[in-house]
Amino acid sequence: MMIKYTRDTMSQIYLDALHIRNEVFVHEQQVPLELEIDEYEALTVHFVLYDEHDHALATLRLLPLENDQMKLQRMAVIKEARHKHLGQQLIQFAEDFCREQHVTSITLGGQESAIAFYQKLGYQVEGERFMDAGIPHFTLTKKLT
């Protein structure tokens, strides 16, 4: 496995991230494309996990916030690669990246169905359930040390 990242929205890494997001969010979860691709694309760092054959399997992006925080967004793993701990590997890589950037905490809006996954990685639920793109979410946060 290899993880690559970019801020370049013209790069192959970004295009691979978009392909995964399109498969998972737009096709599987029926999120409208105009909600999936947003005004933050060029402001975020896009991460993609590849297998040994250079096939893109998982993605997430990090949006810089104020006060040394990052927001983890668009976490997705293609259907054929789920339940192989790839999401966990990708998040741990992104957390290490954040530590190198002196980020002190990560926040995210996690789908209700994925809350246990994020909690196993040390994220804490904050606040009430909310809807995003017609899907129930919760805000979760993790302090980095």
- 89-111 residue pLDDT tens: 999 999 999 999 999 999 999 99
Contact assessment for residue 58 and residue 86, using Cβ atoms and an 8 Å cutoff: yes
Q: Which residues contact 105 (CB under 8 A, 6 or more apart)?
A: 68, 69, 70, 141, 142, 143, 144
Q: What is the CA radius of gyration of the chain?
A: 14
Tokens of 114: 């994925």
Task: Specify the number of domains making up the chain.
Answer: 1
Range of the domain at 121: 2-143
pLDDT in tens, 40-71: 999 999 999 999 999 999 999 999 999 899 99
Parallel, antiparallel or unpaired: strands 105-111 and 69-77: parallel
Decide if pLDDT at 145 tops 80: no
Tokens of 144: 């980095």
Q: Which residues contact 66 (CB under 8 A, 6 or more apart)?
A: none
What value does the mean pLDDT take over residues 109-138?
A: 93
Is the torsion defined by CA of 88, 109, 65, 41 positive or negative?
positive
Nearest residue to 19 (alpha-carbon basis) of 73, 74, 70: 74
Q: What is the CATH number of the domain that holds 101?
A: 3.40.630.30
What are the strands, taking DSSP E only, across the chain? 2-6, 45-50, 56-64, 69-77, 105-111, 124-132, 135-143
